Structure 1
């Protein structure tokens, strides 16, 4: 059923109804055989729900209006809390909404369709259940379960939502108030652990949790519900409560949990599983975990088939299935460890293996410290969750008392944040996975089989564990980096990321690619722990969005950009560079050649031609960095600076056909570097650009074919080393 829903949410609705008809015929043929009839009924249900929902969206007047792109007035209800969304152009808020009324011209429609709104304003103003009146541009939606995207021009609240959402927000405020006396990331983590409120977490903390495999702690799910249910039910049982009282208390706990934590996909899955387990308690029979999980999937996909491909749902179900199936037998094979320790080791291993392909598809990385990190933080999760919730409840009655359990939660959260930061700072904490995510399925199976064999051999298991820890702390990198490096072109995929070493452990970094992992891996392999100057040539994502990887565990002394701006990266100071500026960093001279001094902040569509162009003199060699300049801007640079001679040329715009051959001829480089991704959809580098480089006799090195490329000055000769 899960696979059917995942497939049918991405095709025309007629396919959904066609699949429903075919499967219904098969089910009718096998109606006397439950092994055929019941799965057929589930598949028909999934297909009908997909078709019905998809047809409703397509027929909506909101979807039809979105095709024309008018400015409309609408009344919407916030479906999920707003989330701040940072980009190179600034910060906005993404708000999932349900559109109730839409007005265009003199016509008004009453509807009930989903949409996503992009709004300017503080994220905490957009709380689940809040009603808003908005004026917005309509655009076609990216997802087939939504009718439109709303680019909100102005908005005002017109209602605060039902009492249950208002009440849950009071509890969430209480959880935040309970740790307000502490102003650090541990205090910010407590609301995330208890209620999924990540609003106060920094990007660096989120990145550390992702790198160490602890992101699941930020997505409230089954573990949190289990902790809360366990405290409630065990407490009532100790007081002698009957089974019926336990059931009622359990149901109320599940409902309250969903309201406080918000109906995210992982929370929904946990709530349905908890309800199934409580039903088993009522009839006096403990339900099998896998059966409860299967019912949770069926129920949720009937209610919302589009959950099938939501990352939170996929990760939650995968992790739960891994824990149910693999953790108990693995813990039994680790019988040479104390029982609680064996379970603490088996559970994160099982979850990590089950989620490996999904995590890699989302982050492009495979964490090597996830199991270690989860084992270490496990004892701190329950105290942080229970104490944080207690702080929120105490704040409702006696606010002054809430700080006591809040402090307990903060202490436990401090341990978790500390483990995440230490684990993320390890050089080999994660490795990138450049192949399709599905290739990790056999890898996970093989890894699981190896762990299964190792689990019964204590000496071998301990030896392999210590060897892995050593590889994480000091990953092998023979012959790298080479001596005498002038410039390094990092393999960051389709984008730019260049490094100019200035001293041992220090460098100038020019652009950082689109993803954080590749630039972090490159800087780590070069031994860079301090960035003297971080320069963004322009604000396009493939040059700036990987900044979190660049600053991971590193200090940035100076952040520099041009008229097109860039993200607000933590740095000692920030400067704006224009033609005529000269910067010297530990003997490395940077001459700024472009844009002109009269250039002002430019719109997104003009960013390329406003790229900062610099010529660096390193070890007596000149390196010309040309950003993403197009032909017209390249003509402007050559008019402004007739002398563009360089030993090494960073080819403009990844080798685009939009170039001026005269710039290359004037530079006359011995080596040309092209930052480009394999099989990119833009056709970079273009044959015309490669032909121009061949005409001047430049040795062309591309990151898509050679990986990371270092240009080295050795005994007065330029040598290229790649890995």
Structure 2
């Protein structure tokens, strides 16, 4: 019987559904999606008993497989262990004074190892370690940090999906490490990969070496962060990952050379089948590489067997194979983008072949890839660049026709004559520098990047159906309706918060500082109270990392973009301390601000003056908080209570905002201390609140007994950094809060504190239980 086109593609989709249903705890939305998929299969299948039952079998089978893998994904180590025997399992990554790598213990469990260098000389000892070396390690086990803010990267989940459960923080470097007498095949491949990376690093300047390493060996750790951010914002980051383009060029070049030296096509196909798994290992085994190599391998195998199969089925088989290797790959963005874009290009290949002009064809390829990846890009990065299709047209051609071939050519020159490679590096460096500068400028261009926010699951499913409908109508040449449906979905997403009856208050886990976001129901108001900010302590040059963690660009801005915040109605800076205003600079150019509210006397020091100057330069109005004034939006109301006069101390002169949100009375106190609390009660002796944002991060100089007795809060929220050097919150403050029966929430213990509300009331929740 003739096999249907897409037979294995349907089974691949069923496999993905089975894994998703298993890990979601049988989410009703996914179950509904599965039922719709089975109904579709039943309707299109001429013989329902065949494909229909196979899709159910694959869904149940992969769901059971995922459950089995999850059930056996646990650690054999216990927290009290301090001595470990094991082998270096991955290449060393040095970033400033931090070294990290993976170690495989004698229990055959992989641990993530980190060590902070005390002296620069220790780097030479670390660099002597190679994959496969056996050492005795001394240190303490720490659990990976889970996401402590909404939409944030979950490092614990990321390691869990690699079956890593602990971070081993070394006390000291091992005295001796033994090189293995015998090495396994996988270890040998890792060593060869590391030798190749080291060869490039030693003979090519850092900027060009980072691109060569990324494109040849799939390691992006050394890429410049500003360039990487620009590529990501413009939708070009896929060019820096090894994918089908790389595999295609390598396969075609190897095949051509083999034929030229006289080998038969059959022998070359067999040779390529053996070569592809080796390249997957050398390239780091990313899902996109596996997808491309597996598809190529399936096609070559069928050629050797003289059997014909449709391209769409090769991608289905590749998907199933990769998920068998690890079902966790389904949640890898590289897997999702690689398979979705490849599938869309295969489905649209008929239409693309009708386009005669090469440039127009490349443009349509870029459009199709952007449409296919749109839901995933919005889900993971919350924004979309209008320039992406045009820039992809330019950059894909530049990378595929120039950068990638030149990178491989330079590497082969390195293998033959390392001392002469510097003569040829300018052929890569000058064009690459020009294009990278262009990308960075385009990313900084204020027009073109549209922030949609992270789509909820149901909207993500709607996007999926609209994309499928888009390609279906595209093939029928009904392109106007295809575009209209997709645009309607995007327009709804753009305005989704205006339909949301829920408001929210989010006290972000911003470290030792304050950053509190308020959104009113139906998007009637978006406010940010303080921004957080951390001081960078002086470091020696060798200690500096390529990119230091920044709570503004790494926590605050991504959170606001994920929430779909394009413009804040008010940015309220309670006072000028850096831990409350230090991240304002991160907001400029990323999030619009209608008005900045400051207290009396703001603008005295250099940081405060810079904020005012930048606000004026950008046309942002600056207002001063005046006691006993405020505003009202719907059921929510806001009133400034403090300061009533100028204070020498910035803390005492903090803006105090009284708000009614979700039928609860809130008091946001900044860093107000004992003097400010006395003055506040003098002016408002009958002040009573339900929720108190505890002043000055729980310092003993605030939240006095008389103040707490008067306002009598039911809930107290403390925004404070983990293991901070000030000892906040002070035990006496915790005791005083306990005496008034206030339920205490702390960002250092529970992560971000959330309050979701309507005009009828609301509920509290935390990111960390």
TM-score (norm 2): 0.56
Deviations 1:279-336 (A, max 9, x none): 123223454322112112222222222222222222222222222223x244256x3x
Aligned length: 535
Contact 2:98 2:116 (8 Å CA) reproduced: yes
Name the structure 2 match of 1:263: 285
Inter-CA distance 212–398: structure 2 relative to 1 (3 Å threshold): same
SS in 2 for 1:71: coil
Q: Name the one with the larger strand percent.
A: 1
Inter-CA distance 41–243: structure 2 relative to 1 (3 Å threshold): farther
Name the structure 2 match of 1:214: 236
Inter-CA distance 303–549: structure 2 relative to 1 (3 Å threshold): farther
Contact 1:357 1:437 (8 Å CA) reproduced: no
Contact 2:654 2:671 (8 Å CA) reproduced: no
What is the distance in 2 between the residues matched to 1:547 and 1:274? 48
Q: Does 1:391 align with 2:410?
A: yes
Deviations 1:456-480 (A, max 9, x none): 999999x99xx9xxxxxxxxxxxxx
Contact 2:214 2:220 (8 Å CA) reproduced: yes
CA offset at residue 191 of structure 1?
2.1
CA offset at residue 211 of structure 1?
0.3
SS in 1 for 2:396: helix
Q: Does 1:315 align with 2:337?
A: yes
What is the distance in 2 between the residues matched to 1:359 and 1:675? 38
CA offset at residue 417 of structure 1?
1.8
SS in 2 for 1:201: coil
* Alignment of structure 1 residues 225-304 onto 2, 5 Å: 225-285=247-307, 287-304=309-326
* Alignment of structure 1 residues 27-46 onto 2, 5 Å: 34-35=50-51, 38-39=54-55, 42-43=58-59, 46=62
What is the distance in 2 between the residues matched to 1:434 and 1:117? 33
CA offset at residue 447 of structure 1?
6.6
Name the structure 2 match of 1:377: 395
The one of 98, 101, 113 equivalent to 2:104 is 98
The one of 175, 186, 198 equivalent to 1:173 is 198
What is the distance in 2 between the residues matched to 1:535 and 1:451? 54
The one of 208, 213, 238 equivalent to 1:191 is 213
Name the structure 2 match of 1:70: 80
Contact 2:140 2:169 (8 Å CA) reproduced: yes
What is the distance in 2 between the residues matched to 1:414 and 1:287? 43
CA offset at residue 703 of structure 1?
13
Name the structure 2 match of 1:116: 112
Name the structure 1 match of 2:352: 331
Inter-CA distance 32–450: structure 2 relative to 1 (3 Å threshold): closer
Q: Does 1:514 align with 2:555?
A: yes
Inter-CA distance 582–8: structure 2 relative to 1 (3 Å threshold): same
Q: Structure 1: which 5+ runs fail to align?
A: 13-30, 102-110, 468-487, 500-508, 527-533, 554-578, 591-616, 624-633, 677-685, 691-701, 707-723
Inter-CA distance 246–589: structure 2 relative to 1 (3 Å threshold): closer
Inter-CA distance 519–73: structure 2 relative to 1 (3 Å threshold): same
Q: Does 1:439 align with 2:480?
A: no
Inter-CA distance 113–151: structure 2 relative to 1 (3 Å threshold): closer
Inter-CA distance 46–340: structure 2 relative to 1 (3 Å threshold): same
Contact 2:653 2:676 (8 Å CA) reproduced: no
What is the distance in 2 between the residues matched to 1:263 and 1:460? 40
Deviations 1:374-409 (A, max 9, x none): 111011112212221222222122113434554333
* Alignment of structure 1 residues 565-580 onto 2, 5 Å: none
SS in 1 for 2:312: helix
Name the structure 2 match of 1:8: 22
Name the structure 2 match of 1:18: none
Inter-CA distance 323–179: structure 2 relative to 1 (3 Å threshold): farther
The one of 210, 226, 240 equivalent to 1:204 is 226
CA offset at residue 52 of structure 1?
4.5
Contact 1:75 1:132 (8 Å CA) reproduced: yes
CA offset at residue 130 of structure 1?
5.4
Q: Does 1:537 align with 2:592?
A: no
Contact 1:177 1:392 (8 Å CA) reproduced: no
Contact 2:651 2:671 (8 Å CA) reproduced: no
The one of 334, 337, 340 equivalent to 2:358 is 340
Contact 1:516 1:547 (8 Å CA) reproduced: no
What is the distance in 1 between the residues matched to 2:265 and 2:233? 43
SS in 1 for 2:108: strand
What is the distance in 2 between the residues matched to 1:94 and 1:449? 46
SS in 1 for 2:109: strand
CA offset at residue 224 of structure 1?
1.4
Name the structure 1 match of 2:139: 136
SS in 2 for 1:148: coil
CA offset at residue 649 of structure 1?
5.8
Name the structure 2 match of 1:608: none
